[in-house]
Amino acid sequence: MGEKVKWAFVIDRDEFVRLSLNKILQKYGFQVVEIEDFSQLEGREKEIRGGVILGDVEMEMLEGNPPFLKRWSDRFILVSPSITDEVAPRLKKMGIQHIVKKPVDPRMLRRAIRQISFPDGVKALSSSGKK
C-alpha cells in the first residue's frame, strides 16, 4: 500500500476534452488536476516529477521556448489536432518528445505515458493493467 500518487496535469481550453482526458487518466491510476496555464505548475515540482503534463498548447507559445518546456519536456505530452509531418520535427527540435494527436486515442496516450521514465524506475502504467 506504499504506492505513490501519480499526478497528471491537463491543460486544454475545451471542457469536453479535459473531461475525457481526466477519465482516461484516472483509469490509468492518475490523480488529475485541470489547469488553465503553465503558471499554475509553479511550486508543484514534486508532483510533476512523479507525473505527467498533458496540454494542447499553441505552437507560438512553444516556439517562445517557455521555461516549463526546458524543465519538464520529459514529462510533457502535447495533445493537438494540428500535428503534421512538417510540424513534428520542429516539435522534437524544441524538446517535445511525446506527441498525441487529437482526438485522443487512449492506446496512443497510454503508449506516450509508457515512454516517460519515472523516479525510482517505477513505470506509470504496469503492463498487466487494462488496455
Instruction: State how far the Cα of 104 lies from the Cα of 63, in Å rounded to an integer.
Output: 23
* Domain boundaries defined on the chain: 6-20+31-117
What strand order describes the sheet that includes 52-55?
A: 30-35, 6-11, 52-55, 76-80, 98-101
Query: Which pLDDT does position 122 carry in this prediction?
Result: 58
Written as nine digits, the cell of 99 is 506527441
pLDDT per residue over 51-102, tens digit each? 999 999 888 888 887 888 888 999 999 999 988 888 889 898 888 999 999 9
Helix axes 106-114, 15-27, angle to 10 degrees: 60
**Residue 95 CA, distance from chain mean position:** 14
The 10s digit of each residue's pLDDT in 12-47 is 989 999 999 999 999 999 999 999 888 888 899 999
Banded model confidence at residue 131, pLDDT cuts 50, 70, 90: very low
CATH topology of domain 6-20+31-117: Rossmann fold (3.40.50)
Whether the per-residue pLDDT at 130 is higher than 80: the answer is no
pLDDT of residue 9: 97
Set of cell numbers at residue 82: 494540428
pLDDT of residue 113: 95
pLDDT value at position 121?
60
- The pLDDT value recorded for residue 79 is 95
